[in-house]
Chains A and B, each alone.
Chain A
Amino acid sequence: MNNLILGRYIPGDSLVHRLDPRSKLLSMLIFIIVVFWANNVLTNLLMLVFTMILVFLSHVKISFFLKGLRPMIGLILFTTLFQVLFTQNGHVLFHLWIIKITDSGIGQAALIFMRFVLIIIFSTLLTLTTTPLSLADAVESLLKPLEPLKVPVHEIGLMLSLSLRFVPTLMDDTTRIMNAQRARGVDFGEGNLIRKIKSIIPILIPLFASSFKRADALATAMEARGYQGGAGRSKYRLLKWTYKDSLAIVGICLLGFILFLLKK
């Protein structure tokens, strides 16, 4: 699990790091839509340059992005290969038995490849420069407008930040339980599929039980500290929207606009 780069935060103090998480999250959403407008060489080049400028501004080493791409590389190659082999229209470049490679097939494949790479680089950029905690805050804050629609925004935010806070604790629990069961002779990852699945039970049940205990103790502690739900609370952690954030949003919207004009 250690080579998973997605969702890993790299501390830093660059321009991208200091942006408000809300503007980064919004940009991410806009970017995903915009990526699908890039469908010729010019627009793709523009997207690539834009992304590269951001990567450069974040001061994060390019190797981290390559690491982020690595787990996905199989999937990317698989899809592009399919594009090459199954696009049948256009000028034929190569023909052997039922294999027919056309120029539009290669074009299509290149397009898909670019989309994958751009989306992964951009999302890696988001998670590398933003703490999970501030992302949770951003989600809560962006959901605020839904409050009149009876969406429990405060509760969602609390759940999100509590689960993020308990992820490492529960990971520790899992390791401890696994080791304890191993010491009692349970074999993990041995035998056929059914046996493998069965061997998970001695981890799962104690983990469930301990989670309930933790939840109960946490609820008691929260109540003892005067937690009465979202109403009437003040907030310690405030997100600050600066002109740079507005600039970032304007920038990405402008990019989208240009792409919309240039797309085929």
Chain B
Amino acid sequence: MTDKIIELKNVTFRYDENQEKPTLNNISFHVKHREWLSIIGHNGSGKSTTVRLIDGLLEAESGQILIEGHKLSEDNVWDIRHRISMVFQNPDNQFVGATVEDDVAFGLENKGIPLKEMREHVAEALNLVGMSDFKTREPARLSGGQKQRVAIAGAVAMHPNIIILDEATSMLDPEGRLELIGTIQKIREQYGMTVISITHDLDEVTLSDRVLVMKNGQIESSSSPRELFSRGDELLDLGLDIPFTSTIIKALRKIGFTFDNRYLLEKELEDKLWALISKK
């Protein structure tokens, strides 16, 4: 198999035929095996459309989409969907089952997995996200973060090769968000999955291997998180916050400290500050 698990070649898409500017304009990129790819960009830049195309929920006007070497077409779209799990933004609207375990089992039921195996997968997935104690609860009695964890359990139970997070953490509080990112990272290490995540969250971007920036339906750049963060104030234009260390560096510059334009991790900034202070 090639190293590229997903590949998009010259994909163009419009929601409406009469749309003058296409939602996605001739984009090409690939995702490597076991890579954690973040896609960032302003609202309306085409991020969600891109991942929906990958899952076959939308059909491209032109261009090719290859998943694990197979060209996505009407014949194999269900097959491919079983290998890709998606988690969406609103936890309420993607909760299909009447209770937690029913919801986790929904995808497995669709696949026609026998009951015994299904029970094992459900228990395993719920354990992984730490929701085993809640398995008979109804969605109305869960918090937003818990519902989103159930959605992730439902995605993981399918044992997919690829997991796509479409702003899955955007409706959670900072604590729930961190917890969820931690869970995803754990799952990724355990199963060696490829993760594509659409996000506006800095922590998620920091954890990823590569960041794809989208702008007006086109790929603006593809870089490592570190390279991206070195772009400084530009980040705001791309729909991201300024990292904490960059804010501090900016404030320190004003009072006479000198730094080069590189992005620093918290630990690196700490070391640098110690070095500066001990020199004086």
- Cβ-defined contact, A217 with B94, below 8 A: yes
Closest 3 CB pairs of A and B: A168-B140, A221-B94, A217-B93
- Cβ-defined contact, B112 with A232, below 8 A: yes
A97 at the interface (CB under 8 A from B): no
A164 at the interface (CB under 8 A from B): yes
A201 at the interface (CB under 8 A from B): no
**Residue from B57, B93, B110, B111 in contact with A218 in the complex, judged by beta carbons closer than 8 Å:** B93
Given contacts A168-B139, A221-B96, A225-B86, 18 further A-B contacts (CB under 8 A): A161-B98, A165-B96, A165-B97, A165-B139, A168-B140, A169-B92, A217-B90, A221-B88, A224-B84, A225-B85, A228-B78, A234-B113, A234-B114, A234-B118, A236-B102, A236-B122, A237-B102, A238-B115
Contacts of A168 in B (CB 8 A): 138-140
B205 at the interface (CB under 8 A from A): no
- Cβ-defined contact, A236 with B139, below 8 A: no
**Residue from A164, A220, A234 in contact with B98 in the complex, judged by beta carbons closer than 8 Å:** A164
- Cβ-defined contact, B86 with A224, below 8 A: yes
**Distance of A218 from chain B, by nearest CB (Å):** 5
A222 at the interface (CB under 8 A from B): yes
Measured between alpha carbons, how far is A228 from B158 in the docked complex, in Å? 16
The tally of residues in B whose CB lies under 8 Å from a CB in A reads 40
Residue with the greatest number of chain B CB neighbours at <10 A, chosen from A217, A235, A236, A238 = A236
Contacts of B138 in A (CB 8 A): 165, 168
Tell me which residues from 108 to 150 in chain B have a Cβ below 8 Å from any Cβ of chain A.
Answer: 108-115, 118-119, 122, 138-140
**Distance of A80 from chain B, by nearest CB (Å):** 39
- The binding surface of chain A is classed by DSSP as helix
Tell me which residues from 219 to 245 in chain A have a Cβ below 8 Å from any Cβ of chain B.
Answer: 220-228, 232-238
Tell me which residues from 131 to 176 in chain A have a Cβ below 8 Å from any Cβ of chain B.
Answer: 133, 136, 161-162, 164-165, 168-169, 172
Contacts of B114 in A (CB 8 A): 234
- Cβ-defined contact, A236 with B101, below 8 A: yes
Contacts of B41 in A (CB 8 A): none
B95 at the interface (CB under 8 A from A): yes
Residue with the greatest number of chain B CB neighbours at <10 A, chosen from A217, A221, A226, A227 = A226
**Distance of B150 from chain A, by nearest CB (Å):** 12
Measured between alpha carbons, how far is A172 from B92 in the docked complex, in Å? 11
**Distance of B94 from chain A, by nearest CB (Å):** 4
Contacts of A136 in B (CB 8 A): 98
- Cβ-defined contact, A226 with B93, below 8 A: no
**Distance of B50 from chain A, by nearest CB (Å):** 14
Tell me whether A169 and B90 are in contact in the complex, defined as CB-CB below 8 angstroms, given that A227-B106, A234-B118, A236-B115 are known contacts: no
What residue of chain A has the Cβ atom nearest to residue B86's Cβ? A224
Measured between alpha carbons, how far is A164 from B118 in the docked complex, in Å? 24
B154 at the interface (CB under 8 A from A): yes
25 of the cross-chain contacts (CB-CB < 8 Å) are A136-B98, A165-B98, A165-B139, A168-B140, A169-B92, A169-B140, A214-B93, A217-B90, A218-B93, A221-B88, A221-B93, A221-B94, A223-B57, A224-B85, A225-B96, A226-B81, A226-B111, A227-B96, A233-B112, A234-B115, A234-B118, A235-B109, A236-B102, A236-B118, A238-B115
The tally of residues in A whose CB lies under 8 Å from a CB in B reads 29
Contacts of B107 in A (CB 8 A): 225-226
- Cβ-defined contact, A220 with B115, below 8 A: no
B105 at the interface (CB under 8 A from A): yes
Measured between alpha carbons, how far is A161 from B139 in the docked complex, in Å? 13
Contacts of B25 in A (CB 8 A): none
- Cβ-defined contact, A222 with B86, below 8 A: no
Contacts of B95 in A (CB 8 A): 165
Q: Which residues of A contact B (CB under 8 A)?
A: 133, 136, 161-162, 164-165, 168-169, 172, 213-214, 217-218, 220-228, 232-238
Measured between alpha carbons, how far is A81 from B140 in the docked complex, in Å? 43
Measured between alpha carbons, how far is A176 from B92 in the docked complex, in Å? 15
Contacts of A238 in B (CB 8 A): 115
- Cβ-defined contact, A169 with B139, below 8 A: yes
- Cβ-defined contact, A225 with B115, below 8 A: no
B206 at the interface (CB under 8 A from A): no
**Distance of B97 from chain A, by nearest CB (Å):** 7
Measured between alpha carbons, how far is A213 from B52 in the docked complex, in Å? 17
**Distance of A254 from chain B, by nearest CB (Å):** 35
**Distance of A224 from chain B, by nearest CB (Å):** 4
Measured between alpha carbons, how far is A159 from B186 in the docked complex, in Å? 36
Measured between alpha carbons, how far is A224 from B113 in the docked complex, in Å? 17
Measured between alpha carbons, how far is A136 from B94 in the docked complex, in Å? 20
Residue with the greatest number of chain B CB neighbours at <10 A, chosen from A133, A213, A220 = A220
Measured between alpha carbons, how far is A24 from B95 in the docked complex, in Å? 28
Contacts of A234 in B (CB 8 A): 108-109, 111-115, 118
